[in-house]
Amino acid sequence: MLDVRDLTTTYGAVRALDGVTFTAPQGRITAVLGANGAGKTTLLRTLSGLVPAASGSARLGDTDLLTTPAEEMTRAGLAHVPEGRGVIAQLTVEENLRLGALGARGGGRKADLDRVTDLFPVLGERRHQVAHTLSGGERQMLVIARALLADPAILLLDEPSLGLAPRIVTQIFDLLRGLVDDDGLTVVLVEQNARSALSISDVGLVLDLGKVVVHDDAAVLVDDATLRHAYLGF
């Protein structure tokens, strides 16, 4: 379980996160929603150690995330898929996947590579292709597969639907839901696309100017018309 308390991150005088408190329950998807500049990406970057926190705490089980360097996160069980499909474009699909397995808690196993190519058959077909030849959807699959190879307890996903066709988004979201239901993975899903994100999430969290303004069951957020109009734009 991810337990975040009073987390504050500043960029100079700007408080990008301002006392954020929430828990992401194990085996659930928590959607983090809000407008551009609300602090969603900063939240993930602070949790994974790419941006230092100003104050507060963030714990994953027994691990204090705020004192763990970014390069130790996969070994602590946290995988962060950054915004913009962070494939390493010059490496092949297989090399990207191997890289994910290298950071695994257990050291990476061959069987896992087979498991993700079962989940994403297209990656198996293209394993020797250089990653910059992949389509947007394939790249998103690659980064998710790569993150899964690290065998994470919690997966932080930043805007996986960005720029993808609705059909591909549905496919990726269904797959995520499957991983959570079958393997007990915990997911924190940052999304602009609130409607799709809430449709697969258990819990919704709305950020506005760095503060948590709503934190409730996803179903409650979907049903509350005022809330939807005010923050979610649908």
Partner 1 sequence: MQQLTTTLLTGLTLGAVFSAFALALVMIWRSTRIVNFAQAPMAMVTTYVALVLIDAGASYWVGFVAALLSGFVLGAVIERVVVRHVEGKAELNAVILTLGLFIVLHAAAALVFGSRFRSFPAPFGVRGLTVGDSTIPLTGFGIFTLVSVLVVMGLLVALFRGTDIGLRMRAAAFGPEVARLLGVKVGRMLTLGWALASVVGSLSGLLIAGGGLVHPGYMDSVVVYGFVAAVLGGLESPGGAVVGGLSLGLTLSVVSGYVGSEVVPLAALLVLVVVLLVRPGGLFSTVHERRV
What residues line the site for partner 1 (CB under 8 A)? 48, 50, 70-75, 79-80, 82, 86-91, 95, 98-100, 102-103, 132, 146, 150
Q: Nearer to partner 1 by C-beta: 56 or 100?
A: 100
Closest to partner 1 by CB, 54 or 99: 99
Of 1 and 99, nearer to partner 1 (C-beta) is 99
Q: Closer to partner 1 by CB, 70 or 165: give it.
A: 70
Distance CA 220, CA 139 (A): 33
Nearest approach in angstroms of CB 103 to partner 1 is 3
CB of 225 to partner 1, least distance (A): 36
DSSP letter string, 187-214: EEEE-S-HHHHHHH-SEEEEEETTEEEE
Residue 88 vs 122, nearer CB to partner 1: 88
What lies within 8 Å, CB to CB, of 165 at 6+ separation is 137
The DSSP H or E segment spanning 96 is helix 93-102
For partner 1, the closer CB: 37 or 82: 82
> How many other CB atoms sit within 10 Å of the CB of residue 226?
7
Output the smallest distance, CB 50 to partner 1, in A.
7
Residue closer to partner 1, measured from CB, 41 or 196: 41
Summary count for the chain: helices (H), strands (E): 9, 10
Least distance to partner 1, CB of residue 150, Å: 7
DSSP state of 224: -
Q: Shortest Cβ distance from residue 54 to partner 1 (Å)?
A: 21
d(CA 106, CA 181): 22
Min dist CB 126 to partner 1, Å, is: 17
DSSP lists the bridge partners of residue 130 as 92
Burial of 52 (0-12, 13-18, 19+ CB in 10 A): exposed
| Secondary structure class of 77 (helix, strand, coil) | coil
d(CA 66, CA 49): 7
Rounded CA separation 98/74 (Å): 14
For residue 87, the minimal CB distance to partner 1 (Å) is: 8
